[in-house]
Amino acid sequence: MDLACQISQQQTTEVLVEDDDGVSEAALQVLRQSDFNPCCTLSVKFSKDKLNNNIRNQRRFLRCLVSKLLMSEIFEGPDGAKNLALNSKALRDDLYFEVGSLLALSLVHGGPPLGFFSPALYHSLFNYPTNYRPTLQDLGDTAFAHKIRQIAEANSMKELRCAMQSASQYLEAAGCWRNISKLSEKDMLVEDVLNFYLIIRLQLPLQRFREGLRTLGLFEQVQMCTEAFHSVFCGPVERLTAESVMDLFTVQFSEEKENTTLNFWKKYLHECDEGRCAASLKDLLTFATATDLVPSIGFHPTPSISFFSSSDPSCAFPQSHCDANHLILPIVPSYELFKKHLDYTVCQFSVMQDI
C-alpha cells in the first residue's frame, strides 16, 4: 500500500489488448516503450469489450497477466511451486528482467497475490528463510528429478553406484561426479546437486529477475519484511470462504427491514461455499469488484453493501458498481426469490465476462 502511493492518478499509460490471450504480449509491448513510466495509472482497453470500464479492465488485465506470466518459459517446476528455468534465449532477450518488472508492477497496481514461487526460488531471491536447503520437491516431476531421487533413495552401495552412473551427465555438469565410499555420503551429494541446479547455475537469471522486481521499489520492500511477504509470493493463495467474503464487505444500513436481507446474504454465501448455488464465491466477488482474488494491497475503497426496495420485488435484481467495489442487494420477501435473482444476475455477468 505504501508503494502504491507512487501511482499517479493524473498520468496514464494506455494498454490495448485484443483478448485475454494477448495480455502478456500487450504488457511487454508497453514495458518496452522508451517512455514507459511504472508510476502511471494503467488505462486498459480490450478491443472486444464494448463496455470498457477501466477499473474492471485493469483488474481483469492484472489477473490474466499473472496467470500468463507463470506459464512463461523462464519458469519450470510443479504448479504452485515454480523455479526459474535456465533459458539462453530468455537471457539474451532479457525476459527475466521484464517478467520480474511486470510481476512487481502487477502487485503494486493492485493485482492478485502471485502464489506460485517455490520455497527455493523465494529463498534464492530474498534469502528467506536463511537456513533453507533445496529439496527434491523443488525439482518437480522431471527426468532429472527422477534420477536424483534414485540416488537419494538408494539402500546399498550397489544401488547408489548404479543410480550415479545413470545420472552421470547431470553430476558431471554440476561438478559433483566423485568417488563415494560410504552410503551416508549420498545425502551431501544430493544436496550439492540440488544447490547447483536450483541456485548456482541460475545466478545470472536470478540477478536480472531481481532487477526487474526492483520496479516501484518492490524488491527492497520485500527484503525488509520477507516473512510477511512470503504468502504473497509462495502458495497456496488463500481460498475464498463464506466467512472471508462476508468480512470483506461493510454494510450500509438505512432501515430495519434490511436486516432480513442481510441474513439472506449470509445464507447465500454459505450455500455458495457448499456448492448449492448456480454462482460461486469467485463469481460473486467478480460481480461486485471485477476480480475473483483479493488484491495483495487489498481493495480500495473497501467493498460495501447497500440495499434497495422495488415496487415490484419480482423484478428486483442485484446491482454492482465495481469501480467503487459496491454491491446493492434487493429487498425481497423470501430467500428463494433472493437466491434466484442473485444466481441469475451473477451468472449472466459471468457469461458476459467470458465473451
| Rounded average pLDDT over 31-40 | 96
Q: What is the CA radius of gyration of the chain?
A: 25
Please say whether the beta carbons of 151 and 186 come within 8 A. yes
H helices within 274-320, ranges in order? Answer: 281-289
The model's pLDDT over 179-236, given as tens digits with 9 standing for 90+, comes to 999 999 999 999 999 999 999 999 999 999 999 999 999 999 999 999 999 999 998 8
Q: Do domains 3-126+202-233 and 242-354 have the same CATH topology?
A: no
Residue 326, SS3 per DSSP: strand
Q: Which residues of 173-204 are buried (b: 16+ CB within 10 A; e: fewer)?
A: ebebeeebeeeeebeebbebbbbbbbbeebee
The pLDDT, as a whole number, for residue 50 is 64
| Rounded average pLDDT over 59-81 | 93
- The pLDDT mean for the chain works out to 93
pLDDT tier at 19, thresholds 50, 70, 90: confident
Torsion 298-299-302-304 (CA) sign: negative
**Domain edges within the chain:** 3-126+202-233, 136-198, 242-354
User: Closest by alpha carbon to 204, among 85, 122, 105, 104?
Assistant: 85
Kindly report the CATH class assigned to 3-126+202-233: alpha beta
CATH classification for the domain delimited by 242-354, as one of 3.40.50.300, 3.40.50.150, 1.10.760.10, 3.30.2410.10: 3.30.2410.10
The pLDDT, as a whole number, for residue 328 is 96
Q: How many residues are given for the chain?
A: 355
